[in-house]
Chain A
């Protein structure tokens, strides 16, 4: 069922997750449907998960895999923050996600978008698709529902949008 789901041939409304940077931070968005095959198991899921005060992650793909990866990274980031003595950077959070995704690529099926703000780099979005590639992007879309958005974002996204513009035009 879900194993046959193919991002390039969407035949159902799959997860859609979005992350957009703007001058001053990031905006993250996600739908709220979790399905097992044809049945909607949860119509009020929260796919935007907190990792630290300043870093969140949008989850797509296997619910179990994305949850466990988020949980581990939250745990590691917590310890890292204590050791570091200041908030973790978005890059560190994204790299932790990458490490888990890459080193367990045979077993995991989850695409994640890490978004946050830190004092060094400001608002940043990192996409971590299947396989564990880490790619910093000004905006990122993911999930099987994102197929419908590639054309839209190619046309509608511009460099240097404000938060209001991003929310109105893109979300």
Chain B
């Protein structure tokens, strides 16, 4: 049978190959040789096993790595790349022969070849006329899929005149009857019957892909392309996926062309049947041979794979990726740039300035936001509690201090960022109400429920103006990384792994330096505590800064040319970010010690009351410190958190906490404030002391003052009674147990907390089965008490709350002895592994 290649007619003037294609035959042989001979590093014939798999009835496609082929025979690889469409049937034949040689496959079974690992990638926009027929890789977003149906690839026909059977009539996207019966004496050209049982079919699916945003020139509509998937490639792409397609661009002849005289293949009888209903005018036109000059394009893909790091989609968070796979996805230039960036001594600074070129000053905020973009490493404890790696940042500042600009920049820059305002015009909720203020006749929009995107950055402007219910939702999202939606009585929990970048206005419009941060913003303590970094932007009335601001703004207006000076383009930063985020830095021994050191320092200073910080230093800050250090390490593409990373993280944390120095205020006031804050701490733990508001808290201040004594005590306890010594692992296990128990108790019951004795009893009950004698029970009890003691006073994991309700450190020192009255509260939503690390270092000291 002569294979009439309609597809190539338009594109390739030399396409009329009616005689045996010699080049193709040669390539078929060479390709078969490749399949037979190519060995992997273990010396096995690589494709043998795969070919044997093809025996299974549902399999028919052999996936071949193009890189292998290039390594085996460069010439063959080039030929295939350039003439893919022409050679494709021959390559498939080679696969068939290969499969037949190595397994019992039905004679009639067809096989197909698919290539993967094609090194170069083309943009959809680059698929021009010259690319027709060659093997290319494109990536695009699948926007539409059609159902799979069988396609006739080779038909067997029965001549209705002479009853002769005509086999193997090739079909190309089009039902094609034999042009003439092969029986030389029979001149039948029209009357044929398709024998479906003897014809061959293939799975066939059309999908439409669209140019990805990254490839799209600004201001243009993305191009789309019809992709044809066959055999095993069907159903491998879903609408919304970003996929790589390897195959070739083809030109599809349209029906009108086929039904015009002069074309060899006959049009389908079904189409012909329609003509009977058509009007005279059409026939008239047809007789004149009117035809369109245009073709339709399609992409025939043999291999589909998800675009790995979803490059085009600007997706920067895909934790399953490895740095290596990302590197693979980049072009040489892109990779070189990333490498160059990772070597940049000034990277930190350059990234900041490139991200926010139009914002003057505020370097610390820029750094904080940058670290937020890199993020810490999310962890899961042995108990299955997941701990966020996302860094949350809050910018508090006077009006018109570029707060919104920061948010807008981040929204522009990062994928899946949501920008929303706590109130009014840009409500991001699902619904909203328009309400009229009767006094001023102003309309106000009251936003509905807030939507949060999973895996993104949520920029919230006017955070303080946000509705309480939204604040609660945000709170949940910030800590649990989920968001709960109650609708029609059904509560759904959705993932919301997002970093929050919030901007808030100070109470009363201006930041009052004589007051604490807490008093300056209208946020609840639990929410405040979920931010890793707070930045305070004060509209300083200072000639130098005023000049700088004026210069920047006037500059903006006086220079015509649109030049924003950036060391790195946004795309370069995006790529770098994607790459760097694949690192999961571990904390080195040195850094661990350093973290502990810094943390202790923070707490000491906090306790000593020398500097009045924005809030109490708690384990949360330790968590933040770890996250920020990890983020720093990521930024430099390090696998290990080094002390220098911790140092910068600490510096930033320190700045963020104690940014605004308070001028002298009278002591009474300070005391009041201290009280207030202690109460806040109380709330922070989601717990009210049994006595209600007046319940006194022995915060860390007390704990700290006693550190020395306790320290000694703890050591003594351990050395004097060797029987109470326990391995670190054991200590860790028990303390985790306790913390979890307390947490559970807190979550279950907000009203009453567990007293220390309750906890001890619970623990003993837990290990009841292990206890044989009374002696052992007493020992265990002593041990658990020691552990709790250590947890409270040394590791600050738990806090003791006394019920006696007395103020002042003098008094509270007395409470130490009244252990029975003490209520235990798990102090933090703590990274248990971090805690463990700290303990470890403490113990090793």
**Do A and B associate with each other?**
no
Interface residue ranges, B against A (CB under 8 Å):
none
Interface residue ranges, A against B (CB under 8 Å):
none
